[in-house]
Structure 1
């Protein structure tokens, strides 16, 4: 069936972390409750890292970032959720949204329930699911065989890790697996390659779900240079190969990238290469341009 549009899709799943996933979801927010984000939970830096060290639990920072970008009705609740403490006291640098999610986590049976409570409070229609409801960190082995522990340290690596895994091995959230199984379209990226995109793919049950899903799969490339020196050296072909090795099958049907990306070695996949930069922040995707590019991908794949 040719000429499908985004509006025709029953279930769209976007995978990633923080800024990138929030941007994609806000670009597709007209899909409402047909849109689901599967959010990375391995962050161990900043306010999130401090909360994890003192209270345990999953990382809430990327989830908060996504929710922030999906708020369409400013309210007292949204102002509170986005508030960050200043000064140099105990609360300095903490984001109230992280603390609210952590508090709701304590009050709820499951993290997914905490997120649904805050979604209702903020009037966010799209679903957000943590990749796992079990606390987990990212672990890399560098080219000298040393163990590099945690997202923050891995982002500072200069050479590509020899291997990347989750510590401990965790299960994906049940709803995330179900969403992938029911999806018409799955989007991966943009985001920090090793620390925002790969963690979700490293869960064995998620990799299996991505191998089995009949959904069209699209990779959205970054516009700016990665802050991670190791990730910044990867070509588009490298990234596709690493992701599909983790998944265990060639699954990515199309890539959506900016005009200057080298597409050598990308093979027989649909390439949608268009200007995508936001006018205000060039390394962020413009929501309407991204929406249009994804529309073109869907129509071309049919």
Structure 2
């Protein structure tokens, strides 16, 4: 089975999802990105404080990863103002998306317009069109609110939830329902990978999925409490927090990563230029390896659904 014959959904946030979308950009409209929208730091956080809105930064990054780096559109949307004034630190793409969000009736319309400007054929969707924040609970009950606070926690939170609870666009559910392959990660476990899974509509769609779901591990340990967890501890934490385990296999760069829950595929994915980046060609090879031995299941009409463990 070849990737180019599949419908693929990639879910996550930050630079990890952007890397996956850039890697698979040849899929065009057979690829869909579902993007985390809970960021409350940097330019995005300042815009969210000014007026209640979704976090635009990860959406902007994913859109620009789908166009040529040297294009005017990419340079425009990635331009960051320097200085100490009100514009200092702001990303122009974030400001454009934020402005469109104030004008358009819904964020999806703003994203659609930017896709036309950048000539991006791949659908890029927010996990929700409504603003929401992460709320993490310590084992003894205290809580922290906001992405920045969650990543700074000294220990792993017992629970993570969205406040307020939000719905996902219908397009996200449809994309997952029609997907042959679903990719989670790489990226920060608590603040990039998990937030979309906390949206109930997305969790339900993943639970009934017909496609094969693969979790792509990070190459280097992240700077968050999740860095202390084994793979199976991460999977158990997801299952406890969303009520299901939406992972069929895992791609890992490290051979010391093992699992009693899912199949683990080992593949060297490090990039020569940036050690913590997944090399694009190697990531495609790993995905091909992931789906190569998956037998078709006639009752679901999916080429990629397999048992949870080898």
Q: Which whole-Å deviations, capped at 9, do the CAs of 1:192-229 have from their partners, x for residues lacking one?
A: 0011111111111111111111111100001111111x
Task: State how far apart, in whole Å, the 1-side matches of 2:206 and 2:246 are.
Answer: 8
The whole-number CA distance in structure 2 between the counterparts of 1:141 and 1:52 is 23
Match of residue 93 from structure 2: 97
Q: RCO higher in 1 or 2 (8 Å CA, sep ≥ 6)?
A: 1
For 1:288 and 1:231, the matched residues in 2 are separated by 27
One of 159, 178, 182 as aligned partner of 2:178: 182
Residues 188 and 54 of structure 1, relative CA distance in 2, 3 Å threshold: same
- Contact 2:159 2:241 (8 Å CA) reproduced: no
Render the CA deviation track for 1:1-30: whole Å, top value 9, x for unaligned: xxx111221x10000001000111111111
Q: Would you say the 8 A contact 1:270–1:297 is kept in 2?
A: no
> Which residue does the alignment assign to 2:248?
253
1:234 aligned partner:
229
Q: Secondary structure at the match of 1:256?
A: strand
2:30 maps to: 34
TM-score (norm 1): 0.94
Which residue, 249, 269, 276 being the options, matches 1:283? 276
Give the secondary structure class of the aligned counterpart of 1:120: helix
Task: Identify unmatched segments of 5+ residues in structure 1.
Answer: none
The match for 2:4 is 7
Mapping for residues 82-231 of structure 1, pairs under 5 Å:
82-228=78-224, 230-231=225-226
Question: After alignment, is 26-35 or 128-137 more displaced?
Answer: 26-35
Any conservation in 2 of the 1:177–1:206 contact (CA below 8 Å)? yes
| TM-score normalised according to structure 2 size | 0.92
Q: Which runs of 5+ in 2 are unaligned?
A: 296-310
- Could you tell me how far 1:239 is from its partner in structure 2? 1.3
CA distance in 2, matches of 1:298, 1:5: 8
Closer, same or farther in 2 for the Cα pair 1:291/1:56, shift >3 Å? same
2:71 is equivalent to residue 75 of structure 1: yes
Alpha-carbon RMSD: 1.3
Say whether the 8 Å CA contact 1:13–1:187 is kept in structure 2.
Answer: yes
CA contact (8 A) 2:238 2:244 kept: no
Of 43, 47, 54 in structure 2, the residue corresponding to residue 47 of structure 1 is 43
Shift of 1:261: 4.2
Alignment size in residue pairs: 295
